[in-house]
Structure 1
Amino acid sequence: MNTMIYTYQINGMPVQTGDVICTMNGKPDILPGEFWRMVGRLVPGDVDHVAIYLGPDGRCAEAGARGVITFDVPNGNWDTERMARQRGLLFDTFYGVVSPLDVLGYSDEDEVNMRITIAKYVHAQVGKPYNLNFFNPETEDAFYCSQLIYKAYQSIGIDMNTGLAMEQLPGTNQIIYPQEIWEGFSHRKLSLNPNAVLA
Protein backbone atom coordinates (compact mmCIF):
# COMPACT_ATOMS: atom_id res chain seq x y z
CA MET A 1 0.00 0.00 0.00
CA ASN A 2 1.28 3.43 -0.94
CA THR A 3 2.18 5.37 2.19
CA MET A 4 4.66 7.66 0.48
CA ILE A 5 4.51 10.55 -1.93
CA TYR A 6 6.24 9.80 -5.21
CA THR A 7 7.40 12.13 -7.95
CA TYR A 8 7.91 11.35 -11.62
CA GLN A 9 7.96 13.09 -14.97
CA ILE A 10 5.58 12.35 -17.83
CA ASN A 11 6.53 13.89 -21.16
CA GLY A 12 8.82 16.20 -19.20
CA MET A 13 6.09 17.40 -16.83
CA PRO A 14 6.57 16.76 -13.10
CA VAL A 15 3.82 14.83 -11.30
CA GLN A 16 3.31 13.83 -7.67
CA THR A 17 1.13 11.17 -6.09
CA GLY A 18 -2.50 12.32 -6.47
CA ASP A 19 -1.95 14.54 -9.51
CA VAL A 20 -4.40 14.07 -12.38
CA ILE A 21 -3.20 13.18 -15.88
CA CYS A 22 -5.41 14.65 -18.59
CA THR A 23 -5.58 13.28 -22.11
CA MET A 24 -7.45 13.78 -25.35
CA ASN A 25 -9.04 10.69 -26.84
CA GLY A 26 -7.37 9.35 -29.91
CA LYS A 27 -4.08 9.54 -31.67
CA PRO A 28 -4.47 10.93 -35.19
CA ASP A 29 -1.89 8.74 -36.92
CA ILE A 30 -3.35 5.33 -35.98
CA LEU A 31 -6.75 3.91 -36.93
CA PRO A 32 -7.93 2.88 -33.41
CA GLY A 33 -7.01 6.40 -32.32
CA GLU A 34 -9.52 7.84 -34.78
CA PHE A 35 -12.31 5.84 -33.10
CA TRP A 36 -11.37 7.24 -29.69
CA ARG A 37 -11.20 10.77 -31.13
CA MET A 38 -14.82 10.44 -32.29
CA VAL A 39 -15.85 9.24 -28.80
CA GLY A 40 -14.05 12.25 -27.32
CA ARG A 41 -16.14 14.65 -29.38
CA LEU A 42 -19.18 13.71 -27.27
CA VAL A 43 -17.52 15.09 -24.13
CA PRO A 44 -17.41 18.88 -23.51
CA GLY A 45 -13.98 20.49 -23.87
CA ASP A 46 -10.55 19.33 -25.00
CA VAL A 47 -9.91 16.94 -22.11
CA ASP A 48 -11.67 13.60 -22.73
CA HIS A 49 -10.03 11.28 -20.22
CA VAL A 50 -8.31 11.46 -16.85
CA ALA A 51 -6.04 9.11 -14.93
CA ILE A 52 -4.26 9.57 -11.62
CA TYR A 53 -0.58 9.31 -10.82
CA LEU A 54 0.15 7.06 -7.83
CA GLY A 55 3.80 6.03 -8.04
CA PRO A 56 6.31 4.66 -7.55
CA ASP A 57 7.96 5.25 -10.92
CA GLY A 58 5.36 5.38 -13.72
CA ARG A 59 2.49 3.70 -11.85
CA CYS A 60 -0.92 5.30 -12.56
CA ALA A 61 -4.56 4.26 -12.21
CA GLU A 62 -7.64 4.88 -14.31
CA ALA A 63 -11.20 3.71 -14.88
CA GLY A 64 -11.72 2.51 -18.43
CA ALA A 65 -13.19 -0.36 -20.42
CA ARG A 66 -11.48 -2.91 -18.14
CA GLY A 67 -12.77 -1.19 -15.00
CA VAL A 68 -10.41 0.36 -12.47
CA ILE A 69 -6.85 -0.70 -13.25
CA THR A 70 -3.29 0.34 -12.62
CA PHE A 71 -0.85 0.75 -15.49
CA ASP A 72 2.68 1.99 -16.02
CA VAL A 73 3.95 4.92 -18.06
CA PRO A 74 7.27 3.56 -19.38
CA ASN A 75 10.39 5.72 -19.11
CA GLY A 76 8.36 8.88 -18.49
CA ASN A 77 6.85 8.84 -22.00
CA TRP A 78 3.09 8.73 -22.64
CA ASP A 79 3.45 6.10 -25.38
CA THR A 80 -0.20 5.18 -26.02
CA GLU A 81 0.59 2.30 -28.40
CA ARG A 82 3.01 0.74 -25.94
CA MET A 83 0.54 1.11 -23.04
CA ALA A 84 -2.56 0.05 -25.04
CA ARG A 85 -2.60 -3.63 -24.06
CA GLN A 86 -2.48 -2.97 -20.31
CA ARG A 87 -5.09 -0.18 -20.69
CA GLY A 88 -7.73 -2.17 -22.61
CA LEU A 89 -6.87 -0.71 -26.03
CA LEU A 90 -7.48 2.89 -25.00
CA PHE A 91 -5.62 5.22 -27.35
CA ASP A 92 -5.14 8.81 -26.22
CA THR A 93 -2.80 11.78 -26.41
CA PHE A 94 -1.20 13.36 -23.33
CA TYR A 95 -2.65 16.86 -22.74
CA GLY A 96 -1.48 18.08 -19.33
CA VAL A 97 -1.52 17.68 -15.56
CA VAL A 98 -3.93 18.95 -12.92
CA SER A 99 -2.52 19.44 -9.43
CA PRO A 100 -5.73 20.06 -7.45
CA LEU A 101 -3.94 20.71 -4.15
CA ASP A 102 -1.66 23.42 -5.57
CA VAL A 103 -2.45 27.01 -4.56
CA LEU A 104 -5.11 25.91 -2.05
CA GLY A 105 -2.91 26.91 0.88
CA TYR A 106 -2.57 23.60 2.72
CA SER A 107 0.46 23.05 4.97
CA ASP A 108 3.09 20.66 3.61
CA GLU A 109 2.13 18.06 6.21
CA ASP A 110 -1.60 18.31 5.40
CA GLU A 111 -0.89 18.06 1.69
CA VAL A 112 1.22 14.91 2.18
CA ASN A 113 -1.54 13.32 4.24
CA MET A 114 -4.16 14.26 1.64
CA ARG A 115 -2.10 12.79 -1.20
CA ILE A 116 -1.65 9.56 0.75
CA THR A 117 -5.41 9.40 1.48
CA ILE A 118 -6.20 9.91 -2.22
CA ALA A 119 -3.77 7.16 -3.26
CA LYS A 120 -5.19 4.73 -0.67
CA TYR A 121 -8.71 5.44 -1.90
CA VAL A 122 -7.77 4.76 -5.53
CA HIS A 123 -5.85 1.56 -4.65
CA ALA A 124 -8.96 0.30 -2.82
CA GLN A 125 -11.06 0.67 -6.00
CA VAL A 126 -8.77 -1.32 -8.30
CA GLY A 127 -10.66 -4.26 -9.80
CA LYS A 128 -14.08 -2.61 -9.68
CA PRO A 129 -16.07 -2.48 -12.95
CA TYR A 130 -16.65 0.43 -15.30
CA ASN A 131 -19.66 2.63 -14.47
CA LEU A 132 -21.83 3.14 -17.57
CA ASN A 133 -24.33 5.23 -15.60
CA PHE A 134 -22.64 8.62 -15.90
CA PHE A 135 -25.59 10.20 -14.05
CA ASN A 136 -24.64 8.31 -10.87
CA PRO A 137 -21.20 9.59 -9.87
CA GLU A 138 -21.84 8.90 -6.18
CA THR A 139 -21.76 5.10 -6.41
CA GLU A 140 -18.61 3.34 -5.26
CA ASP A 141 -19.53 0.01 -6.86
CA ALA A 142 -18.29 1.04 -10.32
CA PHE A 143 -16.38 4.00 -11.77
CA TYR A 144 -15.92 5.99 -14.94
CA CYS A 145 -12.65 7.90 -15.39
CA SER A 146 -13.49 11.31 -13.96
CA GLN A 147 -15.79 9.82 -11.31
CA LEU A 148 -12.79 7.91 -9.87
CA ILE A 149 -10.88 11.19 -9.51
CA TYR A 150 -13.96 12.98 -8.14
CA LYS A 151 -14.56 10.33 -5.46
CA ALA A 152 -10.87 10.17 -4.52
CA TYR A 153 -10.80 13.93 -3.91
CA GLN A 154 -14.19 13.83 -2.21
CA SER A 155 -12.52 11.54 0.37
CA ILE A 156 -10.42 14.56 1.48
CA GLY A 157 -13.30 17.05 1.31
CA ILE A 158 -12.73 18.54 -2.17
CA ASP A 159 -15.75 18.67 -4.51
CA MET A 160 -14.80 18.59 -8.19
CA ASN A 161 -18.35 18.85 -9.55
CA THR A 162 -18.51 22.39 -10.95
CA GLY A 163 -21.93 21.90 -12.59
CA LEU A 164 -20.64 21.69 -16.17
CA ALA A 165 -23.39 20.37 -18.47
CA MET A 166 -23.98 19.50 -22.11
CA GLU A 167 -26.03 22.25 -23.72
CA GLN A 168 -29.79 21.58 -23.92
CA LEU A 169 -29.52 18.21 -22.13
CA PRO A 170 -31.18 18.46 -18.71
CA GLY A 171 -29.52 16.65 -15.83
CA THR A 172 -26.10 16.42 -17.46
CA ASN A 173 -24.67 18.71 -14.77
CA GLN A 174 -24.66 15.63 -12.48
CA ILE A 175 -22.01 14.04 -14.69
CA ILE A 176 -18.41 14.62 -13.65
CA TYR A 177 -16.54 15.60 -16.83
CA PRO A 178 -12.78 15.40 -17.36
CA GLN A 179 -12.91 18.99 -18.65
CA GLU A 180 -14.34 20.35 -15.40
CA ILE A 181 -11.49 18.78 -13.43
CA TRP A 182 -9.09 20.50 -15.84
CA GLU A 183 -10.84 23.88 -15.68
CA GLY A 184 -11.63 23.84 -11.97
CA PHE A 185 -8.13 23.41 -10.56
CA SER A 186 -4.49 24.38 -10.97
CA HIS A 187 -3.25 22.83 -14.22
CA ARG A 188 -0.31 22.75 -16.63
CA LYS A 189 -0.75 22.07 -20.32
CA LEU A 190 1.91 20.29 -22.33
CA SER A 191 3.43 22.70 -24.79
CA LEU A 192 3.90 21.40 -28.32
CA ASN A 193 6.75 23.88 -28.69
CA PRO A 194 9.79 22.32 -26.93
CA ASN A 195 11.30 25.79 -26.32
CA ALA A 196 8.17 27.22 -24.68
CA VAL A 197 7.90 27.77 -20.95
CA LEU A 198 5.15 25.72 -19.31
CA ALA A 199 2.56 27.72 -17.37
Structure 2
Amino acid sequence: MIYTFEIEGLVVQTGDIICTSNGKPDILPGEFWRLVGRLVPGDVDHVMMYVGPEGRCVEAGSRGVITFDVPDSIWDAERMARQRGLLFDTFYGIASPLEGQGLTENEEAEMRTTVASYCLAQVGKPYNLNFLNAETEDTFYCSQLIYKAYQQVGIDLNTGLSIEQLPGTNSIVYPQEIWGECMHRRANGKRELS
Protein backbone atom coordinates (compact mmCIF):
# COMPACT_ATOMS: atom_id res chain seq x y z
CA MET A 1 0.00 0.00 0.00
CA ILE A 2 1.19 3.51 -0.80
CA TYR A 3 0.89 5.97 2.07
CA THR A 4 1.00 9.75 1.95
CA PHE A 5 2.09 11.98 4.82
CA GLU A 6 3.31 15.51 5.33
CA ILE A 7 6.58 16.50 6.99
CA GLU A 8 7.28 20.19 7.61
CA GLY A 9 4.78 21.10 4.89
CA LEU A 10 6.18 18.73 2.26
CA VAL A 11 4.12 15.79 1.05
CA VAL A 12 5.91 12.42 1.09
CA GLN A 13 4.83 9.08 -0.27
CA THR A 14 6.00 5.57 0.51
CA GLY A 15 9.50 5.21 -0.94
CA ASP A 16 10.44 8.89 -0.82
CA ILE A 17 13.69 9.81 0.90
CA ILE A 18 13.88 12.18 3.84
CA CYS A 19 17.15 14.13 3.80
CA THR A 20 18.66 15.87 6.81
CA SER A 21 21.75 17.77 7.86
CA ASN A 22 23.53 16.53 10.95
CA GLY A 23 23.23 18.69 14.02
CA LYS A 24 20.68 20.81 15.72
CA PRO A 25 21.64 24.26 16.98
CA ASP A 26 21.42 25.24 20.63
CA ILE A 27 21.87 21.79 22.20
CA LEU A 28 25.18 20.08 22.97
CA PRO A 29 24.39 16.69 21.34
CA GLY A 30 23.28 18.61 18.25
CA GLU A 31 26.67 20.31 18.05
CA PHE A 32 28.39 16.90 18.22
CA TRP A 33 26.33 15.67 15.25
CA ARG A 34 27.08 18.89 13.34
CA LEU A 35 30.82 18.09 13.66
CA VAL A 36 30.21 14.54 12.41
CA GLY A 37 28.31 15.99 9.44
CA ARG A 38 31.37 17.99 8.39
CA LEU A 39 33.08 14.69 7.49
CA VAL A 40 30.42 13.98 4.84
CA PRO A 41 30.61 15.85 1.51
CA GLY A 42 27.71 18.22 0.74
CA ASP A 43 24.84 19.71 2.71
CA VAL A 44 22.89 16.47 3.12
CA ASP A 45 24.44 14.23 5.79
CA HIS A 46 21.77 11.64 6.48
CA VAL A 47 18.95 9.93 4.58
CA MET A 48 16.08 7.63 5.49
CA MET A 49 12.98 6.27 3.76
CA TYR A 50 9.39 7.17 4.45
CA VAL A 51 7.33 3.94 4.42
CA GLY A 52 4.09 4.80 6.24
CA PRO A 53 1.51 4.56 7.58
CA GLU A 54 1.35 7.93 9.31
CA GLY A 55 4.91 9.13 10.10
CA ARG A 56 6.67 5.73 9.99
CA CYS A 57 10.21 5.77 8.53
CA VAL A 58 13.15 3.36 8.22
CA GLU A 59 16.75 4.44 8.76
CA ALA A 60 20.18 2.96 9.30
CA GLY A 61 21.90 4.70 12.18
CA SER A 62 23.96 4.00 15.26
CA ARG A 63 21.42 1.41 16.47
CA GLY A 64 21.41 -0.37 13.10
CA VAL A 65 18.36 -0.45 10.86
CA ILE A 66 15.29 0.73 12.78
CA THR A 67 11.82 2.15 12.28
CA PHE A 68 10.74 5.37 13.94
CA ASP A 69 7.81 7.77 13.74
CA VAL A 70 7.71 11.46 12.85
CA PRO A 71 5.11 12.83 15.26
CA ASP A 72 2.48 15.35 14.16
CA SER A 73 4.16 16.04 10.76
CA ILE A 74 6.91 18.01 12.53
CA TRP A 75 10.61 17.16 12.34
CA ASP A 76 11.48 17.45 16.02
CA ALA A 77 14.89 15.82 16.50
CA GLU A 78 14.75 16.21 20.27
CA ARG A 79 11.35 14.52 20.50
CA MET A 80 12.47 11.64 18.22
CA ALA A 81 15.95 11.25 19.77
CA ARG A 82 15.23 8.27 22.03
CA GLN A 83 13.69 6.16 19.28
CA ARG A 84 16.51 7.12 16.85
CA GLY A 85 19.53 6.40 19.07
CA LEU A 86 20.15 10.02 20.09
CA LEU A 87 20.62 11.26 16.53
CA PHE A 88 20.04 15.01 16.30
CA ASP A 89 19.55 16.39 12.81
CA THR A 90 17.79 19.16 10.93
CA PHE A 91 15.21 18.51 8.22
CA TYR A 92 16.61 19.47 4.78
CA GLY A 93 14.09 18.17 2.26
CA ILE A 94 12.59 15.24 0.35
CA ALA A 95 14.20 13.37 -2.57
CA SER A 96 12.08 11.34 -4.96
CA PRO A 97 14.03 8.88 -7.17
CA LEU A 98 10.87 7.87 -9.06
CA GLU A 99 9.66 11.36 -9.90
CA GLY A 100 10.24 12.29 -13.53
CA GLN A 101 10.95 8.69 -14.60
CA GLY A 102 7.91 8.52 -16.93
CA LEU A 103 6.37 5.61 -15.03
CA THR A 104 2.74 4.63 -15.15
CA GLU A 105 0.82 4.94 -11.91
CA ASN A 106 0.87 1.14 -11.48
CA GLU A 107 4.62 0.86 -12.21
CA GLU A 108 5.39 3.60 -9.72
CA ALA A 109 3.17 2.06 -7.04
CA GLU A 110 4.85 -1.32 -7.52
CA MET A 111 8.32 0.22 -7.26
CA ARG A 112 7.39 2.22 -4.15
CA THR A 113 6.07 -0.95 -2.52
CA THR A 114 9.22 -2.89 -3.47
CA VAL A 115 11.70 -0.35 -2.05
CA ALA A 116 9.71 0.10 1.17
CA SER A 117 9.41 -3.67 1.64
CA TYR A 118 13.16 -4.04 1.10
CA CYS A 119 13.95 -1.45 3.79
CA LEU A 120 11.48 -2.97 6.25
CA ALA A 121 13.02 -6.42 5.68
CA GLN A 122 16.40 -5.04 6.83
CA VAL A 123 15.13 -3.80 10.22
CA GLY A 124 17.25 -5.30 13.00
CA LYS A 125 20.46 -5.54 10.97
CA PRO A 126 23.53 -3.79 12.41
CA TYR A 127 25.20 -0.57 11.28
CA ASN A 128 27.85 -0.88 8.55
CA LEU A 129 31.08 0.78 9.66
CA ASN A 130 32.84 -0.29 6.44
CA PHE A 131 31.62 2.55 4.22
CA LEU A 132 33.74 1.24 1.34
CA ASN A 133 31.54 -1.88 1.13
CA ALA A 134 28.20 -0.56 -0.12
CA GLU A 135 27.31 -3.91 -1.69
CA THR A 136 26.90 -5.95 1.49
CA GLU A 137 23.39 -6.70 2.68
CA ASP A 138 24.44 -7.93 6.13
CA THR A 139 24.98 -4.44 7.57
CA PHE A 140 23.89 -0.96 6.44
CA TYR A 141 24.79 2.70 6.73
CA CYS A 142 22.08 5.25 5.91
CA SER A 143 22.64 5.98 2.24
CA GLN A 144 23.69 2.40 1.51
CA LEU A 145 20.26 1.20 2.69
CA ILE A 146 18.54 3.58 0.26
CA TYR A 147 20.96 2.67 -2.54
CA LYS A 148 20.36 -1.07 -2.08
CA ALA A 149 16.58 -0.57 -1.89
CA TYR A 150 16.49 1.29 -5.19
CA GLN A 151 18.78 -1.28 -6.83
CA GLN A 152 15.84 -3.68 -6.40
CA VAL A 153 13.91 -1.65 -9.00
CA GLY A 154 16.83 -0.98 -11.36
CA ILE A 155 17.80 2.50 -10.14
CA ASP A 156 21.48 3.13 -9.31
CA LEU A 157 21.95 6.07 -6.91
CA ASN A 158 25.76 5.77 -6.70
CA THR A 159 27.20 8.49 -8.95
CA GLY A 160 30.84 7.79 -8.04
CA LEU A 161 31.26 10.89 -5.86
CA SER A 162 34.56 10.72 -4.00
CA ILE A 163 36.74 12.63 -1.58
CA GLU A 164 39.63 13.83 -3.76
CA GLN A 165 42.39 13.19 -1.27
CA LEU A 166 41.23 9.65 -0.45
CA PRO A 167 41.50 7.04 -3.22
CA GLY A 168 38.71 4.45 -3.38
CA THR A 169 36.09 6.63 -1.74
CA ASN A 170 33.98 6.59 -4.91
CA SER A 171 32.58 3.23 -3.77
CA ILE A 172 30.92 4.97 -0.81
CA VAL A 173 27.32 6.02 -1.42
CA TYR A 174 27.01 9.50 0.07
CA PRO A 175 23.71 11.07 1.18
CA GLN A 176 24.52 14.11 -0.99
CA GLU A 177 24.65 11.84 -4.08
CA ILE A 178 21.12 10.67 -3.44
CA TRP A 179 19.90 14.24 -2.98
CA GLY A 180 21.68 15.38 -6.15
CA GLU A 181 20.65 12.42 -8.30
CA CYS A 182 16.90 12.75 -7.63
CA MET A 183 14.17 15.28 -8.09
CA HIS A 184 13.97 16.95 -4.71
CA ARG A 185 12.13 19.56 -2.70
CA ARG A 186 13.85 21.73 -0.12
CA ALA A 187 12.14 22.60 3.11
CA ASN A 188 10.94 25.78 1.35
CA GLY A 189 8.80 23.57 -0.93
CA LYS A 190 10.62 24.38 -4.20
CA ARG A 191 11.09 21.46 -6.66
CA GLU A 192 14.52 21.18 -8.19
CA LEU A 193 17.05 18.82 -9.72
CA SER A 194 20.70 19.53 -9.02
Q: How does 1:50-61 map to 2 (within 5 A)?
A: 50-61=47-58
Superposition deviation, residue 132 in structure 1: 0.2
Which of the numbers 187, 190, 193 marks the counterpart of 1:198?
Answer: 190
Unmatched tracts of structure 2, length 5 or more: none
For 2:190 and 2:7, the matched residues in 1 are separated by 13
Q: How does 1:153-168 map to 2 (within 5 A)?
A: 153-168=150-165
Which of the numbers 12, 20, 24 marks the counterpart of 1:15?
Answer: 12
Which of the numbers 66, 69, 72 marks the counterpart of 1:72?
Answer: 69
For 1:179 and 1:167, the matched residues in 2 are separated by 15
Q: How does 1:1-199 map to 2 (within 5 A)?
A: 4-191=1-188, 198-199=190-191
Superposition deviation, residue 190 in structure 1: 0.7
Superposition deviation, residue 28 in structure 1: 1.1
For 1:126 and 1:177, the matched residues in 2 are separated by 21
Superposition deviation, residue 146 in structure 1: 0.2
1:123-162 superposed Cα distances (whole Å, 9 cap, x missing partner): 1000000000000000000000000000000011100000
Superposition deviation, residue 29 in structure 1: 1.2
Letter in 2 for 1:124: A
Superposition deviation, residue 198 in structure 1: 2.3
For 1:66 and 1:173, the matched residues in 2 are separated by 25
Superposition deviation, residue 55 in structure 1: 0.1
For 1:160 and 1:150, the matched residues in 2 are separated by 6
Query: Scaled by the length of structure 2, what TM-score is found?
Result: 0.97
Superposition deviation, residue 167 in structure 1: 1.6
For 2:163 and 2:18, the matched residues in 1 are separated by 23
1:169-189 superposed Cα distances (whole Å, 9 cap, x missing partner): 100000000000000110011
Letter in 2 for 1:59: R
- Identity among equivalent positions (%) equals 71
Letter in 1 for 2:182: F
State the number of aligned residues. 191
For 2:26 and 2:50, the matched residues in 1 are separated by 26
Query: Scaled by the length of structure 1, what TM-score is found?
Result: 0.95
What do you get for the CA RMSD once the two structures are aligned?
A: 0.6
